Amino acid sequence: MKKVAILGSTGSIGKSTLDLIERSPDKFEITALTAAVNVDALADAARRTNARLAVIADESRLRDLEDALQGSGCQAAAGADSLVGAATGDSDLVMAAIVGCAGLRPTMAAVEAGKTVALANKEALVTAGDLMTEAAKTSGATLLPVDSEHNAIFQSLAGSRIDQVSRIILTASGGPFRTASAEAMRNATPAQAVAHPNWTMGAKISVDSATLMNKGLELIEAHYLFGLPSERIDILVHPQSVIHSLVEFIDGSVLAQLGSPDMRIPIAYALAWPERMPTPAQRLDLAAIARLDFGEPDLERFPALRLSREALEAGGSAPAALNAANEVAVATFLDGKISFPDISKLVDMALQENESPAPRSIEDVFEIDRKVRTDVTAMIEGRCA
């Protein structure tokens, strides 16, 4: 029995993880589940899976969680320290699936504790990449990529040495606005932006997929996971999301991982690693798909991708600043208060204003995050005033 703790168990990745685990009750045992505010879904999952610990980040909901778990035998806890407790407590694998920089502290704690961490929470690695990879080296933690692209690269590398790799190629579906005009993008609504053509995901990552910031964050994530510089990480638009990413080796061979667009495939790979496990994901029918298309990303209509590469190449505090600005801008767009193109404009302005030194601890990352959030909020208030 593999003991699993799921951080962000009520989200899209968290629920898919639970789905797989509940299909293999003889292989996995849930030790801890966490959520931000969603007491009902957290308590329901804790009861179904006989979890030992359920943590709600919002301390004001502890009483509700205790009530919902009464008689279940599952311990209820709340707050930031309890999230860290869930990440570092008894488990063989921690699924890091909180969205945004909010996941950094517990994810880092799991890494520092030397855990095997299935990493979905890309923002944690983007904001604290050097610190997290150093911490993993020191503690002996293993980072297993859950993002479908990085999981595909991990599978395609199949243990090859990174000096045998000439480049990696991250595929991008292009999102819901791949072929939209600049005019249509100016008028895009939150509902249109979250309607991803191939994947069903949480709201924040769906908007990131529409701006291509998601691919930008993945570019930075790939740099930290695989240790390759920006110029050896390419982006290829591939609308069908069948090839999840590719590795080109120094001899010209290219290996790729293919599959239907169902996050349960990469999640299962991380859960079962170094073995494999069955999933209910639809099998790939290439004859029915018949053709696969590829193209270059349009950096004019999708400036977030260019900004992400600039942040990666600038290094230091730039990736954390990029992420913080994006998180505020996306939340404000989802609230209907700014336009779709404003997201990238705000990120651009925040990067230009960012003068913070490189973070030397995660407290420094939180300081950069706080400062950029304040600055971007002020920019938005200035625009809306």
Binding residues: 10-13, 36, 38, 121-123, 147-149, 173, 196, 202, 209, 214-215, 218
Nearest approach in angstroms of CB 58 to ligand NAP is 8
**Residue 166 or 377 with smaller CB distance to ligand NAP:** 377
Query: Considering Cα of 122, then 278, then 19, then 28, what sign does the dihedral take?
Result: negative
One-letter amino acid of 232: R
Nearest approach in angstroms of CB 263 to ligand NAP is 4
Polymer length in residues for the chain: 385
Q: Which residues are annotated as a binding site for 1-deoxy-D-xylulose 5-phosphate?
A: 122, 148-149, 173, 196, 209, 214-215, 218
Q: Which residues bind ligand NAP (CB under 6 A)?
A: 8-14, 35-38, 57, 97-99, 102, 120-123, 147, 199, 201-202, 204-205, 263
The rounded distance, in Å, linking the Cα atoms of 110 and 31 is 14
**Residue 6 or 291 with smaller CB distance to ligand NAP:** 6
Nearest approach in angstroms of CB 301 to ligand NAP is 22
User: What angle (nearest 5°) sits at the alpha carbon of residue 317, between those of residues 313 and 320?
Assistant: 95
**Contact present, 176 and 210 (Cβ < 8 Å):** yes
One-letter amino acid of 307: L
**Residue 217 or 379 with smaller CB distance to ligand NAP:** 217
**Residue 147 or 352 with smaller CB distance to ligand NAP:** 147
**Residue 19 or 181 with smaller CB distance to ligand NAP:** 19
Query: Considering Cα of 159, then 310, then 124, then 258, what sign does the dihedral take?
Result: negative
Nearest approach in angstroms of CB 200 to ligand NAP is 7
Q: Which two tokens stand for residue 346?
A: 């705000």
- State how far Cα 260 lies from the chain centre: 19
Nearest approach in angstroms of CB 377 to ligand NAP is 17
- State how far Cα 198 lies from the chain centre: 17
